[in-house]
Amino acid sequence: MESRPALPSSLPGGDLIAEGLSDLSQRRETAAAFLVSIGAPRLSQGGLHVEAPWDDPEHRLYALLSRESPDAAHSRYNALIRLLVSFERSLDILR
């Protein structure tokens, strides 16, 4: 049995990434799952197991945010991407 590294939830966005990993493993189409799918290559390099990322997650995330709040979709998308990048950079420092 392969052991998975513990997710450092103290990192910026760690709770959202943990939520996204859980949602993705259950195939829930959520903003967090799409965000983890966007970051899957780099998260995997950082030692996290990303199970079956969604195809075309950037467009899926933007479409979901647009349905929830059309006027705020662009800024929410950018904020989520910045949070993902911050998490990835912090994860790199730990490795």
Q: How many residues does the chain have?
A: 95
Burial 62-85 (b: 16+ CB within 10 A, else e): bebbeeeeeeebeebbeebeebbe
Residue 8: what pLDDT?
A: 65
Q: Would the pTM count as exceeding 0.85?
A: yes
Which two three-digit tokens encode residue 61?
A: 């995330």
- The pLDDT value recorded for residue 95 is 75
Give the separation between CA 57 and CA 29, rounded to whole angstroms: 10
pLDDT, tens digit, for every residue of 34-87?
Answer: 999 999 999 999 889 999 999 999 999 999 999 999 999 999 999 999 999 999
Is the pLDDT at 5 greater than 90, yes or no?
A: no
Q: Where are the domains of the chain?
A: 14-94
With cut-offs at 50, 70 and 90, classify the pLDDT of residue 17. very high
For residue 3, the model assigns a pLDDT of: 40
Mean pLDDT calculated for residue range 87-94: 89
